[in-house]
Amino acid sequence: MSSELDLRINAEITESGPISFSRFMERALTEPSLGYYVTEQIRAGREGDFITAPELHSLLGSALARMATEVWRRVGEPARFRWVEYGAGSGALALALVAQLRRDKSPLIDALEIQPIDVNTFRSEELRNAITNQQQNGAPVLVGADAPPVAGMVVANEYLDALPFNIYVGRAAAAHGVSERCVGLAADGVTRVWVERDLDASEAQRVAEHFGAPLVEGQLAEACFAFDTWLREVTTRVTSGLVVVIDYGRDGVTLRDAASRMAGTALAYQGHRATTDLLSEPGERDLTAHVDLTALRKAAAAAGLQPVTSTSQAALLAGAGLDDEIDRLRRGPEATLEGAIALRSALAHLMNPRGMGGFAVELFALGTPEHKSRMADPTNPLPGAAAPIRPLV
C-alpha cells in the first residue's frame, strides 16, 4: 500500500518529470511530518535502524571532551565556548562530553554553551530536557540555532553521509560521457524506477570537476554538492576553533575505483539491514552514501578552513584518554560487571579498523591565522589528532 509520502513524491514526478536522487532523498528523509528523520520514531540506537558510536558508548564523547578542552585553551580560554553539534539527535554525544568535562574538572565546563542542530524536533526536545537536568551552577548553557557566533568546536558525527546526493553513471554514448540517474515512474504510474538523463555542458563540467576522473561505462557514483553550503554555515556559527567530521568516508579516488566500486556506495538501512533498493518505502529507510573526503577537503579550503589532521576514529579514541577511561570503567569506584561487559563490546566495535574504528576523522581549524596554526601545530597535536601510526583500512 502506498504511503502519503509515496503519493506525494509520485505526484511530483507525474507533474514535473523524473527528479534527481537528491530531491527524492531530501523528501524521503526530511519531508515535514513524514520524512525518515523528522518523525517521532527512534532511528539511531539498538531499537532503531543503525547504531552510532555515541549511542553505543560514552567513549567518543570522552575523547572529544579532552580535545575540546585543549581547543578552548588554544583559542585563549574565552568566557563563552560553543559546542555546535550537527545531527545532535537526542544528545548522547553532548551528554557524554559534559559528563567527561565534569569528571576531568575541566574549566571549560563553565564556558560551555551547546548549540544542537537537528531536523528532528522530538529528539531535540529530549536533548533539551536531558541538558536541563544536567545543569549544575547554570552550566552548560543551551543556545538556539540563530545565536551570534563565538569561539568553539563544531562536531558532525555521521551527519554528512545523510545529506542528499546526486547519482551519476558513466555512459560513453552520452554527450559528456556521463548521465544522471534520476527517479521516474514506470508505465503503471506507481512504481519508481531509475531513469537516465543527459547533462548539459555546465552540469557535465561541474560533475567532472567534482569527480576529477571519468567514470567507466556503467559505473555508478554519488556526488553531494552540499558540503560548501554546510561549511559556509559553520563559519557563521563559530569564529575560531575546530571542525570535527566523523563519518564513513574515503578519498574520491578510492570511492570511485572502478575495480572495487562499480556500484557506488549508496545504501538504504532499515532494522539494522542494508539494501541497495533506494527507491522503496520513502520515509521508512535511512538513505546514505560514503562521504567523499576529497570533496569535503576542497569545500573546507573554499570556506577558508585549514586542514589539521585526517585520522581514524580508533586513533582519535586511542590518542585522547582511552586508557584512562578503560581503567575508570573497569577498576574505578563506579565500575560494575555490566559496565565492563558493555565496554568490551563497545571497544570491539569502536576500535575495529574495518568497522567504526576505521571511520574517517577530518579536523579543520578556523579563525585567525594564529588560532589556526595553534590547532594545526604538528609538534604539539591536539589530543587524538596525531596521525595514525599506520593507516587503518
363 CB contacts (<8 Å, ≥6 apart)? 242, 243, 244, 245, 307, 308, 309, 310, 311, 375, 382, 385
> Which backbone phi and psi does 292 adopt, to 5 degrees?
-85, 105
At its nearest, how many Å lie between ligand SAM and the CB of residue 168? 22
Cβ pair 51, 89 in contact under 8 A = no
Amino acid at 199: L
* Closest CB to ligand SAM among residues 157, 313: 157
Judge whether 223 and 166 are in contact, CB under 8 Å. Answer: yes
Closest listed residue to residue 72, CA positions, set 379, 374, 378 = 374
For residue 89, give every residue at least 6 positions away whose Cβ sits within 8 Å of its Cβ, in sequence order, or none: 44, 54, 118, 120, 123, 127
Least distance between ligand SAM and beta carbon 97 (Å): 12
Query: Using the 8-state DSSP alphabet, how is residue 50 labeled?
Result: B
Size of the site for ligand SAM (CB under 6 A): 19
Binding part of the chain for ligand SAM, among 87-95, 275-283, 311-319, 325-333 by CB under 6 A, reads 87-95
Name the 3-class secondary structure at 261: coil
Q: Are strands 150-157 and 81-86 parallel, antiparallel or unpaired?
A: parallel
- Does 37 bind ligand SAM (CB under 6 A)? Our answer is yes
Task: Kindly list the distances between the CA atom of residue 311 and the CA atoms of 254, 387, 391, in Å, as whole numbers in the listed order.
Answer: 16, 5, 8
- Taking 3-state DSSP, the helix, strand and coil percentages for the chain, each rounded to the nearest 5, stand at 40, 25, 40
**Positions in 227-286 near ligand SAM (CB under 6 A):** none
- Cα separation, 54 vs 352, in Å, equals 16
Whether residue 140 has a cis bond before it, omega within 30° of 0: yes
- In angstroms, what is the minimal distance from the CB of 376 to ligand SAM? 25
Spatial contact of 138 and 168, defined as CB atoms under 8 Å apart? no
Among the listed residues 10, 22, 157, 166, the single contact to ligand SAM using CB under 6 A = 157
Does residue 321 belong to the site contacting ligand SAM (CB under 6 A)? no
Q: Which CB, 247 or 292, lies closer to ligand SAM?
A: 247
Stretch that binds ligand SAM, among 2-10, 119-127, 310-318, 341-349 (CB under 6 A): 119-127
Using the minimum distance from each CB to ligand SAM, give the nearer residue, 117 or 139: 117
- Rounded Cα distance, 379 and 236, in Å: 30
Q: Does 89 bind ligand SAM (CB under 6 A)?
A: yes
Looking at 99, 119, 326, 386, which residue binds ligand SAM (CB under 6 A)?
119
Which region, judged by CB under 6 A, interacts with ligand SAM, from 85-93, 106-114, 272-280, 306-314? 85-93
Taking CB atoms, the residue at the shortest distance from ligand SAM is 87
Torsion of CA 84, 287, 36, 357, to 10 degrees: -50
Footprint of ligand SAM on 158-197 (CB under 6 A): 158-159, 162
Query: Looking at beta carbons only, is 179 or 288 nearer to ligand SAM?
Result: 288
CB of 179 to ligand SAM, least distance (A): 27
Nearer Cβ to ligand SAM (145/253): 145
Q: Is 91 in the site for ligand SAM (CB under 6 A)?
A: no
**How far apart are CB 246 and ligand SAM at their closest, in Å?**
8
Q: How far is the CB of 349 from ligand SAM (least distance, A)?
A: 13
Q: Which of 87, 91, 252, 357 binds ligand SAM (CB under 6 A)?
A: 87
Taking the complex as a whole, the smallest distance from the CB of residue 27 to ligand SAM amounts, in Å, to 12
- Shortest distance, position 161 Cβ to ligand SAM, whole Å: 7
Query: Minimum distance from CB of 274 to ligand SAM (Å)?
Result: 13
Q: Looking at 6, 49, 55, 247, which residue binds ligand SAM (CB under 6 A)?
A: 55
Q: What are phi and psi of 111, to 5 degrees?
A: -95, -10
**What is the per-residue burial (b if ≥16 Cβ within 10 Å, else e) of 201-210?**
eebbeebbeb
Min dist. Cβ of residue 218 to ligand SAM (A): 30
- Which positions touch ligand SAM (CB under 6 A)? 29-30, 37, 44, 52, 54-55, 87, 89, 92, 117-120, 123, 157-159, 162
